């Protein structure tokens, strides 16, 4: 409380009495938390106690106030970014510090007075062309506060991509060596199981060269894309995730603008755009992800990845691991094309009729650098004994994606037939053929992989869910075909199948709860939403009594007798779906958008 000035009887203003005497308190008064009268040689407290009065004159200065260190770190980070753009030849090194942006920071720092003992040298990492911690700069850093040292906005021109500066600016300013190793491990732990493109040992052999200045720009872009998608599957790197994403995208767009030859496509560039597309779906928006995916699909076609095993395109004595990575790049793009159509129902980009690429090898031989190429897609689909050959999870997912894409084409052809009043003969032929192929594939999955474990292989887990979603979509096609009045028993039998498939989707979503959703497939929320929407529709139909019109089929009687789940029975499954979407909505844009639609 401030001291109050008093007036004497004569009217003169008396100076306020200070709260404590000048000088330092003795150690005994400090220890007992008493007010020291600063008397010499002994203060009153020490004199009464009969002990020696000792005053420590070499006491350390007080520490920084709240927010001072954060403000100082921000200033250092800005300086590091600017210094990372400094030319390495030393001819224009002084120009960086002459920028108005730098001058404003240094002027703000120099305008504050310092006290004794507060002006201590501060050691900060110096950005170099190799690693962030190689050298040091020493800055005389006065005490700062967030309010006293404003941080002017960094001009965007400092971060424009150029071959000489941008490759090292982000690497030195944001990603030190330990963080890069952590991101590599995070990618192969959480991203690779759902997008198994790369041979890990081969990647680790070329990644140090991509990090250094000797690496190619395409490899660096791919490495940044891998790190960006790894950050999307974690909450650890939120502070630098957006910066790394924008830097990676700018680098890729610059490479696209610099290449004009139609036949020149680097596989790393295709893979980088695929990973960026998945990132856009997870962290940006569905529209941006769809556009980025379209860009990746055109590069896939330009690189002729759909003809990897064509004899005319084979190269003698080519590394089989490199060939297998090209196969896997195509099949990941192929699956992505079908995943997008689950919601948008737009036409497919990568068509089946021109595919001359074998299905991917099983994971263990591939990671052992001895890949075993699988059969062609047409052979796997028409095989009379699908259980005789155990395929890789990516191959299984590709086959089910093919069936899902054919179900979409079946729906589109049905709409055209309804508009042209065509007889439904072709409709039933397509529908029965897809039904048989889906049933056979699901039986093969169940027999070859009797225990579904998302911990061991999330893609296999998602393949099971994709099969159930395809069943739901085929039921929707049948209900919208206009043949309900002609074949009511068949339609309602398919509706019951769709209901059971939706329950299976909900239970699979519940199974992911125990291992965490960061390892889940990025399109898992879309499959969960389709299952939840089917449960909501089924509940609404039962509540409205729409199923009572076909009592002869026994569907409504089965529900009343408890043989099928009624409205209360589906509440638990619907809650499983809602809980899964709520737990993923913070880091998955697909979950966030579809949770809003359900709520």
Whether 387 and 448 have beta carbons less than 8 Å apart is answered as yes
What is the distance between the alpha carbons of residues 511 and 452, in angstroms, rounded to a whole number? 10
- Give alpha helix (H) positions in 234-373: 238-258, 267-279, 286-302, 320-344, 363-367
Backbone angles phi, psi at 437, to 5 degrees: -70, -40
At 377, is the pLDDT very low, low, confident or very high (cuts 50, 70, 90)? Answer: very high
Q: What is the pLDDT of residue 556?
A: 44
Which has the minimum average pLDDT: 57-71, 112-126, 255-269?
112-126
Q: CA end-to-end span of the chain, whole Å?
A: 54
Write the class of the CATH domain 21-59.
few secondary structures
Say if residue 133 is preceded by a cis peptide, omega within 30 of 0.
no
What is the distance between the alpha carbons of residues 289 and 285, in angstroms, rounded to a whole number? 6
pLDDT at 341 over 80: yes
Question: Which pTM value belongs to this model?
Answer: 0.71
Q: What is the mean pLDDT of residues 575-598?
A: 93
Rama region for 562: left / alpha / beta (φ>0; ψ in -120 to 50; rest): left
DSSP string, 554-587: THHHHHHTTSS--TTTTHHHHHHHHHHHHHHTTT
**Torsion angle, alpha carbons of 286, 291, 295, 298, to 10:** 100
Q: Which residues contact 273 (CB under 8 A, 6 or more apart)?
A: 225, 252, 292, 295, 296, 299
Q: What is the pLDDT of residue 16?
A: 61
What is the distance between the alpha carbons of residues 79 and 152, in angstroms, rounded to a whole number? 12
Q: Which residues contact 172 (CB under 8 A, 6 or more apart)?
A: 80, 84, 127, 128, 129, 131, 132
Q: Which residues contact 128 (CB under 8 A, 6 or more apart)?
A: 134, 135, 168, 172
Helix 488-511 / helix 571-584 crossing angle, nearest 10 deg: 50
Q: Which two tokens stand for residue 444?
A: 């093969």
Backbone angles phi, psi at 124, to 5 degrees: -130, 150
pLDDT at 110 over 60: no
Q: What is the mean pLDDT of residues 591-599?
A: 90
Q: What is the mean pLDDT of residues 453-477?
A: 87
What DSSP state is assigned to residue 481? T
pLDDT at 560 over 50: no
Which has the minimum average pLDDT: 68-72, 237-241, 568-572, 595-599?
568-572
Other Cβ atoms closer than 10 A to 432: 10
Q: What is the pLDDT of residue 140?
A: 45
pLDDT one-digit tens code per residue, 346-368: 889 999 999 999 999 999 999 99
Nearest Cα to Cα of residue 421 among 482, 474, 475:
482
The CA-atom distances, in angstroms, between 544 and each of 48, 210, 539 are: 92, 62, 9
Which has the minimum average pLDDT: 40-44, 213-217, 464-468?
213-217
Q: What is the pLDDT of residue 541?
A: 78
What residue spans define the domains of the chain?
21-59, 68-165, 174-303, 451-598
pLDDT one-digit tens code per residue, 511-552: 888 777 899 999 999 999 999 999 998 888 777 664 444 444
Report the mean per-residue pLDDT for the chain: 78
Rama region for 33: left / alpha / beta (φ>0; ψ in -120 to 50; rest): left
Class of residue 406 by CB neighbours under 10 A (exposed 0-12, middle 13-18, buried 19+):
buried
Q: What is the pLDDT of residue 561?
A: 39
**What residues are paired with 137 via a beta bridge?**
124
pLDDT one-digit tens code per residue, 274-297: 999 999 999 999 999 999 999 999
């Amino acid at each position: 409380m401030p001291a109050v000035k008093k007036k004497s009887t004569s009217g003169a203003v008396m100076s306020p009495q200070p709260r404590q005497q000048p000088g330092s308190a003795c150690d005994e008064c400090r220890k007992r938390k008493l007010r020291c009268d600063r008397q010499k040689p002994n203060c009153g407290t020490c004199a009464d106690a009969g002990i020696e009065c000792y005053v420590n004159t070499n006491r350390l200065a007080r520490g920084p106030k709240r927010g001072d260190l954060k403000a100082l770190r921000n200033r250092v980070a800005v300086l590091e970014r600017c210094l990372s753009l400094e030319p390495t030849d030393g001819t224009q090194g002084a120009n960086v510090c002459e920028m108005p942006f730098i001058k404003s920071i240094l002027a703000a720092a120099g305008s504050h007075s310092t006290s004794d003992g507060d002006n201590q040298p501060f050691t900060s990492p110096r950005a170099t062309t190799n690693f962030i911690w190689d050298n040091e700069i020493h800055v005389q850093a006065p005490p700062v506060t967030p309010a006293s040292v404003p941080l002017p906005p960094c001009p965007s021109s400092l971060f424009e991509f150029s071959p000489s500066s941008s490759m090292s600016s982000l690497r030195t300013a944001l990603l030190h060596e330990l963080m890069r190793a952590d991101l590599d491990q995070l990618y192969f732990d959480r991203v690779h199981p759902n997008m198994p493109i790369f041979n890990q040992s081969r990647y680790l052999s070329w990644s140090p060269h991509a990090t250094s200045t000797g690496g190619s720009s395409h490899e660096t872009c791919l490495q940044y894309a891998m790190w960006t998608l790894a950050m999307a599957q974690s909450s650890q790197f939120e502070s630098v995730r957006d910066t790394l994403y924008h830097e990676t995208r700018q680098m890729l767009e610059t490479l696209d603008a610099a290449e004009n030859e139609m036949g020149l496509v680097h596989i790393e560039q295709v893979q980088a755009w695929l990973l960026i597309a998945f990132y856009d779906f997870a962290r940006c928006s569905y529209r941006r992800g769809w556009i980025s995916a379209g860009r990746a699909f055109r590069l896939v076609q330009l690189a002729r990845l759909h003809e990897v095993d064509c004899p005319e395109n084979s190269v003698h004595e080519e590394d089989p691991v490199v060939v297998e990575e090209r196969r896997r790049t195509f099949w990941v793009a192929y699956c992505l094309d079908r995943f997008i159509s689950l919601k948008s129902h737009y036409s497919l980009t990568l068509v089946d009729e021109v595919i001359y690429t074998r299905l991917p090898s099983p994971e263990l031989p591939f990671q052992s650098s001895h890949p075993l190429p699988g059969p062609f897609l047409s052979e796997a689909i028409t095989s009379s004994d699908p259980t005789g050959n155990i395929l890789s999870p990516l191959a299984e997912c590709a086959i089910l994606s093919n069936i899902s894409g054919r179900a979409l084409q079946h729906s589109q052809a049905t709409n055209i037939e309804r508009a042209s009043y065509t007889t439904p003969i072709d409709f039933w032929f397509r529908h029965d053929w897809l039904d048989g192929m889906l049933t056979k594939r699901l039986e093969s999955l169940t027999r070859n992989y009797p225990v579904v474990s998302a911990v061991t292989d999330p893609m296999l887990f998602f393949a099971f869910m994709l099969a159930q979603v395809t069943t739901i979509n085929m039921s929707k096609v049948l209900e919208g075909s206009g043949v309900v009045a002609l074949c009511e028993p068949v339609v309602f039998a398919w509706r019951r199948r769709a209901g059971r498939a939706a329950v299976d989707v909900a239970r699979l979503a519940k199974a992911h709860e125990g291992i965490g959703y960061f390892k889940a497939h990025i399109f898992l929320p879309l499959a969960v939403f389709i299952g939840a929407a089917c449960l909501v529709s089924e509940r609404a139909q039962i509540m409205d009594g729409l199923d009572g019109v076909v009592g002869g089929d026994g569907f409504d009687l089965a529900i009343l007798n408890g043989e099928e789940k009624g409205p209360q029975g589906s509440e638990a499954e619907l809650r499983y779906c809602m809980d899964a979407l709520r737990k993923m909505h913070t880091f998955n844009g697909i979950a966030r958008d579809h949770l809003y639609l359900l709520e």
